A and B are shown apart, each in its own frame.
Chain A
Amino acid sequence: MADVKKHDTPMVDELKKGRWPSFVDDIEQKGLKGKQECLDLLGQLELSYKHKETHWKHGGIVGVFGYGGGVIGRYSDVPEMFPTIAHFHTIRVNQPASKFYSSAYLRKLCEMWDHRGSGMTNLHGSTGDLILLGTKTDQLEPIFYDLTHQMSVDLGGSGSNLRTPACCIGKARCEYSCIDTQAICYDLTQTYQDELHRPAFPYKYKFKISGCANDCVAAIARSDCAIIGTWKDDIRIDQAAVKAYIGGELKPNAGAHSDKDWGKFDIQKEVIDRCPTNCMWMEGDKLKIDNRECTRCMHCINVMPAALRPGTDTGATILLGAKAPILEGAQLATLAIPFIRMEAPYDELKDFIGKIWDWWMEEGKNRERSGELIQRQSIQELLRRTGLKAIPQMVKEPRSNPYVFWSAEEVEGGWKRDLAEFRKRHAA
């Protein structure tokens, strides 16, 4: 074992205390077993705690041949103090949809990463990738070779491209899921490998897929194209189970509030009165739902999962343009397609995505997210470019200002007018 140099890290060491898993203890243990990178990282972190400033240099463009992204270059600005992290690049490895792993796969990955990198990871990055945290430039190609040849896994995305898609757990383990989120996630990832690995967009683009409106992967807030499962028919009601909730045999919300006394379950107060559209009522001991008025918010199903289930005529709602604040302000995704069938090979969706990308690649400014393009050029332009029809579901409310654009073709007689004709009727 190589000699390891432990730095004096009194502030960072404070974070070994307390009950929540300590990243410091984990990293230090690894360091003491011979990984100097781990100890140098804690040393540099101590310096940051002292200065209250980061000690990573700006940027760093590194990568693997054939790809324009997947690796985030990073260099220490105090390399003489912490030489093993002078280069400390991050590699984004494309995670399997919904992040199930076999122990064999994880062990193989650890073996490779201990050999070629720092031994530190993020499980997982916010976009979904498995993050290998910290290696040197000359290791990037060998790592990529090992990943593709030995583990049959590819890099994820970075830069102005399609980023790694992610999904909720879906049908693998959730009775709410209206669509096969993993299958969609995998299919889109494979279909658009070129767009993912070789940046060709004005800026980044993200897909996220949630099985229902609970949106466990936060698609509506964190993806340019959110695919969220829904249904068109009636909520399925098991009246016997409804009775069991009312009678107290079944726990509301599957037991999610078990450590506080909220009183006896009151279906009127907890379900019917909380329904956002007031479309539920009791008739005797039977629960009734006016499904035409239901907006499928999931509340009643969440409270009584054993009694209520989503319908069986399922598909997805597509919402576009979510992003964080930079540059023009944060955006939640906005409804574009209320309902689309989601059966492989998802041609209708892909056709739509192609039209959005054509528009954005032609009109989008440098570093303009697709959601900002929609704001700048309007939803009307989105409709023209994609062939979607305007429907009231696309707005929270109709506009209140009267600054309405008409095209010449929409107006009788067009815009070419003769002033002389006008003056014949009206003296100046």
Chain B
Amino acid sequence: MQNRITDIGPPHYFQFMPPVIQKNYGKWKVHEIIEPGVIKYTSETGDVCFAVRCGSARLITTDLIREVADIADKYCDGSVRWTTRNNIEFHVTSEEKLRALKDDLKGRKFPGGSYKFPIGGTGACVTNIVHTQGWVHCHTPAIDASGVVKSVMDELYDYFGSHKLPAQVRIALACCLNMCGAVHCSDIAILGIHRKPPLIEDERITGVCEIPLAVAACPLGAIKPVTVEVNGEKKKTVRVNEERCMFCGNCYTMCPAMPLADGQGDGIAILVGGKISNRITAPKFSKLIIPYIPNEPPRWPTTVKTVKHILEVYAANANKYERLGEWAERIGWERFFEKCDIPFTDKSIDDYRLAYTTYHTTTQFKWSVHTDNL
């Protein structure tokens, strides 16, 4: 423990900011998005600063970070930042540098042809997808993260660098129900789900699990401790009431002897209509509208097509400033399902603790394709 340094925390933020931001800290007066991906900030001091926002894969190598550092040195006094949605932002103070920076960024591509630094992510757009680890690093995922995100963003690429939607559309992905990130409060959410109960390794469980923790990990009380005979030996283990299990995977999080990943069973659920900001309406949770789409690596075509379709129906129908969830609530969910041509199934009806608050306790409803043939 010699020469050990601890509890120093992060570096102080101020030292890394470009001079124009240090000087005008707390003095900004107004901003203007002069084109997709480029925001102009004007200070009370009269100073001006342009921020150029670029997409990023989030999962990046040190070589790409070095390239970012080179660009920062060339145009931005060696300063750069990342946004809360994992985009990269460069700051310049003159129009000439802005032009040169943009040209430079537009010219940088990977050998396969994808852009290294696509400019966009501002205004009424589809910006970067907040996402998780997937099969690149996590042990509980039902889907991949990076691959699905790349596939969706390729298809929605034109929405990243333009301002043609009624409001910003936040897409998020989580590879399991832990929902690391923003899936529970996004306009469109892609969620990894399982559909088979866990396997139970009776031989191994007492060696690797605290059984009471696995029992307590179940939101539905589906797990009970039991003693069984394995190879003539009495062993403490658990049993899962399979009728009661909804495959959340939380028991596996607590107990390595209860794996549940399954290539055929696992897949994607789509949720929509969440938001975080308090603008006009209060923050909202996203709601489950499609219970299952199979995993289709490497391009997940059904998921991509579905997300794009929802986005485009929303874009064609919502009012200016109206977020996807506000639109769906205004027209009614029956009309949302009809307009988006999404089959409504019993899986979208809540049956967990506070489910009653989501029932439709009124005679007010609209006739839709669901009632037309009654």
Whether B123 contacts A253 by the Cβ 8 Å rule is yes
Could you say which residues of chain B place their CB within 8 Å of the CB of A370?
Answer: none
Closest chain-B Cβ to A280's Cβ sits at a distance in Å of 13
Q: How far is A55 from B113 in the complex, measured between Cα atoms in Å?
A: 29
Could you say which residues of chain A place their CB within 8 Å of the CB of B21?
Answer: 100, 172-173
Q: When the two chains form the complex, which single residue of A29, A52, A98 contacts B63, counting CB atoms closer than 8 Å?
A: A29
B327 at interface (Cβ–Cβ under 8 A)? no
Q: A103-B69, A258-B163 are in contact. Are A153 and B10 (CB under 8 A)?
A: yes
Q: When the two chains form the complex, which single residue of A22, A56, A180 contacts B112, counting CB atoms closer than 8 Å?
A: A22
Whether A107 contacts B69 by the Cβ 8 Å rule is yes
A102 at interface (Cβ–Cβ under 8 A)? yes
Closest chain-B Cβ to A215's Cβ sits at a distance in Å of 5
- Closest chain B residue to A47, Cβ basis: B135
Whether A100 contacts B139 by the Cβ 8 Å rule is no
Which residues of chain A in 101-157 are interfacial with respect to chain B, using CB atoms and an 8 Å cutoff? 101-107, 109-110, 113-114, 119-124, 126, 133-134, 145, 148-149, 151-154
Q: How far is A259 from B29 in the complex, measured between Cα atoms in Å?
A: 25
Could you say which residues of chain B place their CB within 8 Å of the CB of A257?
Answer: 123-124, 163-164, 166, 320
Whether B31 contacts A113 by the Cβ 8 Å rule is no
Which residues of chain B in 22-37 are interfacial with respect to chain A, using CB atoms and an 8 Å cutoff? 25-26, 28-36
A-side residues, CB < 8 A to B, are 11-12, 14-27, 29-30, 33, 38, 41, 44-45, 48-49, 51-59, 65-67, 74, 88, 90, 94-107, 109-110, 113-114, 119-124, 126, 133-134, 145, 148-149, 151-154, 166, 168-169, 171-175, 177, 180, 182, 185-186, 189-190, 193-194, 197, 213-218, 220-222, 251, 253-260, 262, 270, 274-276, 295-299, 302-303, 305-306, 324-330, 332, 366-367
Whether A104 contacts B78 by the Cβ 8 Å rule is yes
Q: When the two chains form the complex, which single residue of A33, A53, A88, A171 contacts B25, counting CB atoms closer than 8 Å?
A: A171
Whether B277 contacts A88 by the Cβ 8 Å rule is no
Closest chain-B Cβ to A111's Cβ sits at a distance in Å of 8
Whether B261 contacts A126 by the Cβ 8 Å rule is no
Q: How far is A27 from B112 in the complex, measured between Cα atoms in Å?
A: 12
Whether A324 contacts B180 by the Cβ 8 Å rule is yes
Q: How far is A148 from B4 in the complex, measured between Cα atoms in Å?
A: 8
Closest chain-A Cβ to B166's Cβ sits at a distance in Å of 8
Closest chain-B Cβ to A76's Cβ sits at a distance in Å of 10
Residue interface bits B91-125, CB-to-A below 8 A is 1, else 0: 00000000000000000001111111110001110
Whether B112 contacts A16 by the Cβ 8 Å rule is yes
Q: A15-B147, A20-B157, A45-B135 are in contact. Are A30 and B9 (CB under 8 A)?
A: no
Whether B178 contacts A326 by the Cβ 8 Å rule is yes
A-B contact pairs, 9 of them (CB 8 A): A16-B110, A23-B60, A45-B135, A49-B135, A56-B138, A98-B81, A126-B180, A325-B177, A367-B217
Q: How far is A78 from B147 in the complex, measured between Cα atoms in Å?
A: 21
Closest chain-B Cβ to A351's Cβ sits at a distance in Å of 21
Whether B179 contacts A325 by the Cβ 8 Å rule is yes
- Closest chain B residue to A14, Cβ basis: B298
Scoring A124, A177, A258 by chain B CB atoms within 10 A of each residue's CB, the highest score goes to A258
Could you say which residues of chain A place their CB within 8 Å of the CB of B11?
Answer: 96, 105, 151-153
Could you say which residues of chain B place their CB within 8 Å of the CB of A166?
Answer: 84
Whether B60 contacts A324 by the Cβ 8 Å rule is no
Q: A12-B298, A126-B132, A270-B321 are in contact. Are A96 and B10 (CB under 8 A)?
A: yes
Closest chain-A Cβ to B176's Cβ sits at a distance in Å of 9
Could you say which residues of chain A place their CB within 8 Å of the CB of B35?
Answer: 258
Whether B144 contacts A49 by the Cβ 8 Å rule is yes
Scoring B51, B57, B124 by chain A CB atoms within 10 A of each residue's CB, the highest score goes to B57
B306 at interface (Cβ–Cβ under 8 A)? no
Q: A220-B276, A254-B33 are in contact. Are A168 and B84 (CB under 8 A)?
A: yes
Q: How far is A294 from B63 in the complex, measured between Cα atoms in Å?
A: 49
B41 at interface (Cβ–Cβ under 8 A)? yes
Whether A193 contacts B285 by the Cβ 8 Å rule is no
B252 at interface (Cβ–Cβ under 8 A)? yes
Q: A51-B263, A96-B13, A97-B13 are in contact. Are A259 and B162 (CB under 8 A)?
A: yes
Q: When the two chains form the complex, which single residue of B10, B31, B73, B278 contacts A213, counting CB atoms closer than 8 Å?
A: B278
B6 at interface (Cβ–Cβ under 8 A)? yes
Closest chain-B Cβ to A394's Cβ sits at a distance in Å of 14
Could you say which residues of chain A place their CB within 8 Å of the CB of B130?
Answer: 126
B169 at interface (Cβ–Cβ under 8 A)? no
Q: How far is A100 from B239 in the complex, measured between Cα atoms in Å?
A: 50
Q: When the two chains form the complex, which single residue of A123, A175, A297, A324 contacts B184, counting CB atoms closer than 8 Å?
A: A324
Whether A26 contacts B84 by the Cβ 8 Å rule is no
Could you say which residues of chain A place their CB within 8 Å of the CB of B256?
Answer: 57-59
Whether B114 contacts A172 by the Cβ 8 Å rule is no
Whether B61 contacts A27 by the Cβ 8 Å rule is yes
Q: When the two chains form the complex, which single residue of A18, A26, A95, A213 contacts B277, counting CB atoms closer than 8 Å?
A: A213
Q: A215-B278, A255-B34 are in contact. Are A56 and B139 (CB under 8 A)?
A: yes
Closest chain-B Cβ to A255's Cβ sits at a distance in Å of 4
Whether B137 contacts A173 by the Cβ 8 Å rule is no
B62 at interface (Cβ–Cβ under 8 A)? yes
Whether B78 contacts A100 by the Cβ 8 Å rule is no
Whether A256 contacts B123 by the Cβ 8 Å rule is yes
Residue interface bits B39-53, CB-to-A below 8 A is 1, else 0: 101000000010100
Could you say which residues of chain B place their CB within 8 Å of the CB of A17?
Answer: 112-114, 154
B374 at interface (Cβ–Cβ under 8 A)? no
Whether A303 contacts B30 by the Cβ 8 Å rule is no
- Closest chain A residue to B175, Cβ basis: A54
